Amino acid sequence: MRVLVQKFGGTSVSSAERRAQVAAKVSEAVREGYSPVVVVSAIGRSGDPYATDTFINLVNGITLESPKREMDLLMSCGEIISGVVLTSTLKNIGLDVVLLTGGQAGIITNDCYGDARIIRVEPKAILDHLSEGRVVVVTGFQGITEDGQVTTLGRGGSDTTASALGVALNAEAIDIYTDVEGIMTADPRIVEDARILDVVTYNEICHLAHQGAKVIHPRAVEIAMQRNIPIWIKCAFSDARGTLVTSIQPDMGAGTDITGDRTITGIAHTPNVTQIQVPTHDAPDMLQVDKQIFKGMALADISVDFISVQPESVLYTVPDDLAKKATKILENLGFKPTAVPGCAKVSIVGAGIAGVPGVMADMVEALSDAGVRILQSADSHTTIWVLVNKEDMVPAVQALHKKFLLSAC
């Protein structure tokens, strides 16, 4: 059996016309001899009637007091609706199809509601249907705990569903269909002349995705990488070739992008972050301070980023919506933090950055020429990050894209 996982994002199933295009991709896979497993996201994006955010707003958003188990039940509805709708579209073109929820498909998770991790997949139900010649549609973004509670997998969770199924079913490939023609050197909504990358390594896209390129969820890449299952990022509405995500290819021949790790793969951005500044110069026990701060955040499940520990102060960032919670915890610990909301993180990402002289100098030059002030910076062997004011985010991404010559020509 040649299993092919095909994942369709929210915009891909948002209208009858688009669902017809999706159905054509599925029937093409059947014609080519594949057994397709179709993973589907909730219909549309924020603001659309059946999008997950719309359901969340029915109960006035998620707050600290929200009952997590019930919120996950609510959030899992969007995929069930789109699953039923897409299944009926596929039936209408004559395919033998069955719809399974995450739980029915054997996706077992831990009980971290809202951001559950898949701990294993029990693929028997899917395999039984496939062996009887059925196309299996699986609702993305959700699973079930060992004791039968419905969980959701967090933002981008349908990508993770697709990868986990790809691994469990030993798929020939995982096709992630979305509304762009592949992975690009920057978000095409911000950089008009961003270029499609023909081939990227798991490594490269993982870094890019971790820094905010939401075209695929990083966890999905990590899962597929474990078994070396190729991922294709493709457009649901065109026949463009898309981007192949794979391990390093020794020689992909002329016309492809990869000759090992590129110096710079692309520019990524994450909006809506708050910088927390904690003065520590007058703390009574300097050695305990850093430990107290980060333990306080960890105990409250706040993931911190962009950490910079200095003798006089500790700086880090949190998502805007967690800033209040973070400052409250710090105040309770006796600190006097300052929160700087409305920041954005802009990163240049490339597995080949390490040891290449002048990348930071070029970055600073490009940003200062564009009038962008750097609030904080940090680097690793694959990424250089800068924190900027949110109104500087778009000019910063555009300036860096230009500086590092990532455009098409």
Structure tokens at 25: 């991709």
Q: Return the bridge partners of 142, or none.
A: 152
Q: Is 52 annotated as a binding residue?
A: yes
Question: Rule CB under 5 A: which of 122-181 touch Mg ion?
Answer: 156
- Is residue 151 within 8 Å of 140, Cβ to Cβ? no
Distance (Å, rounded) from C-alpha 193 to C-alpha 276? 35
Please provide residue 348's backbone torsions phi and psi, each rounded to the nearest 5 degrees.
Answer: -100, 135
Q: Is 10 annotated as a binding residue?
A: yes
Does position 235 bind ligand ADP by CB under 6 A? no
Which residue, 7 or 129, has its beta carbon nearer to ligand ADP? 7
Which residue, 51 or 289, has its beta carbon nearer to ligand ADP? 51
Query: CB-based burial of residue 27 (10 Å sphere; 0-12 exposed, 13-18 middle, 19+ buried)?
Result: middle
Does position 180 bind ligand ADP by CB under 6 A? yes
CA distances from 307 to 29, 59, 244, 315, 380 (A): 46, 34, 33, 6, 12
DSSP string, 313-348: EEEEEEEGGGHHHHHHHHHHTT---EEEEEEEEEEE
Q: Can you tell me which residue has the tokens 């933002």? A: 155
Which residue, 123 or 157, has its beta carbon nearer to ligand ADP? 157
Q: Return the bridge partners of 138, or none.
A: 39, 100
289 binds, among ligand ADP, Mg ion, none (CB under 5 to 8 A by kind): none
Residue from the set 116, 153, 183, 363 that interacts with ligand ADP by CB under 6 A: 183
Does position 213 bind ligand ADP by CB under 6 A? yes
Distance (Å, rounded) from C-alpha 56 to C-alpha 61? 5
Does position 186 bind ligand ADP by CB under 6 A? yes
Which residue, 72 or 187, has its beta carbon nearer to ligand ADP? 187
Q: How many chain residues touch Mg ion (CB under 5 A)?
A: 1
Residue from the set 6, 11, 76, 246 that interacts with ligand ADP by CB under 6 A: 11
Does position 350 bind ligand ADP by CB under 6 A? no
Residue from the set 10, 36, 140, 337 that interacts with ligand ADP by CB under 6 A: 10
- Is residue 359 within 8 Å of 349, Cβ to Cβ? no
- Is residue 141 within 8 Å of 158, Cβ to Cβ? yes
189 binds, among ligand ADP, Mg ion, none (CB under 5 to 8 A by kind): ligand ADP
With residue 35 as reference, give the H or E element that holds it.
strand 35-40
Q: Is 179 annotated as a binding residue?
A: yes
Does position 52 bind ligand ADP by CB under 6 A? no
Does position 327 bind ligand ADP by CB under 6 A? no
Does position 48 bind ligand ADP by CB under 6 A? no
Closest CA to 278 of 292, 258, 264: 292
* Minimal distance, residue 266 CB to ligand ADP, in Å: 5
* Minimal distance, residue 395 CB to ligand ADP, in Å: 17
Residue from the set 3, 5, 9, 385 that interacts with ligand ADP by CB under 6 A: 9
- Is residue 266 within 8 Å of 406, Cβ to Cβ? yes
Q: Is 253 annotated as a binding residue?
A: no
* Residues in contact with Mg ion by the rule CB under 5 A: 156
Question: Site residues (CB under 6 A) for ligand ADP?
Answer: 9-11, 41, 178-180, 183-184, 186-189, 213-215, 266
